[in-house]
Amino acid sequence: MKVLIINASPRVNGNTSIAVNELVKTFEQEGVQTETVQIGTKVIRGCIACGKCAQLGKCVFDDAVNELAPKFREADGLVVATPVYYASANATLIACLDRLFFSTPFDKTMKVGASVVVARRGGCSATFDELNKYFTISGMPVASSSYWNSVHGRETGEAAYDAEGLLTMRTLARNMSFLMKSIALGREKFGVPQKEPWQPTHFIRADLSGK
């Protein structure tokens, strides 16, 4: 049982790392392996909608996204952790996740997702909602905790004093471990849910277009 953790902070031992370390310790206690990849200082460009990934099975830009893809494929769960920048995930993480989710052809159904947001003060809920949307369009159950997964701090190290934030992290890791283990049992007993072919609609109806 393995969880991939993407830490989007550019600060090596910043507040996001403090939140992530609390998760890692608790996952260890639960017998769940983790691998953390910190992408905050990497150059990760945004998606250019070229569609080449449909043929290649990977992104046309060979950067950290294509390195993360096989790790994500093997993982039972994915945690994305970010510092809040202007009430959003930072730009590096959004560029990374747009391309990672769009370019990878493997089935993500029933991999468990969780997002963690770290801020001085504001924008946590908006960022939490923003990140959970990658999971909920991908058939990924979202692990939850005793609060929306936020930890507070501004200067490096301050997050260590957010006792409730760290409790939220420990609870999240325990709940996520339980969910992943339960899903593994469920796979054995019931199999994965049936999938119907995708039926894309885009709200445009030729008969109403006036042509």
Residues at the site binding ligand FMN, with contacts judged by CB under 6 A: 9, 11, 14-16, 83-87, 118-123, 153-154, 156
Smallest gap from Cβ 84 to ligand FMN, in A, equals: 4
In the bound state, the residue with its beta carbon closest to ligand FMN is 14
Nearer to ligand FMN, 104 or 132 (CB): 132
Amino acid found at 202: H
Nearer to ligand FMN, 59 or 117 (CB): 117
Smallest gap from Cβ 109 to ligand FMN, in A, equals: 31
Smallest gap from Cβ 30 to ligand FMN, in A, equals: 24
Nearer to ligand FMN, 154 or 187 (CB): 154
3-state secondary structure the chain: CEEEEEECCCCCCCHHHHHHHHHHHHHHHCCCEEEEEECCCCCCCCCCCCCCHHHHCCCCCCCHHHHHHHHHHHCCEEEEEEEEECCEECHHHHHHHHHHHHHCCCCCCCCEEEEEEEECCCCHHHHHHHHHHHHHCCCCCECCCCCCCEEECCCCCHHHHCHHHHHHHHHHHHHHHHHHHHHHHHHHHHCCCCCCCCCCCCCCCHHHCCC
Smallest gap from Cβ 33 to ligand FMN, in A, equals: 23
Smallest gap from Cβ 22 to ligand FMN, in A, equals: 13
Nearer to ligand FMN, 53 or 166 (CB): 166
Nearest to 75 by CA among 32, 13, 19, 124: 32
Nearer to ligand FMN, 16 or 104 (CB): 16
Smallest gap from Cβ 23 to ligand FMN, in A, equals: 14
Nearer to ligand FMN, 9 or 168 (CB): 9
Cβ count within 10 A of residue 120: 14
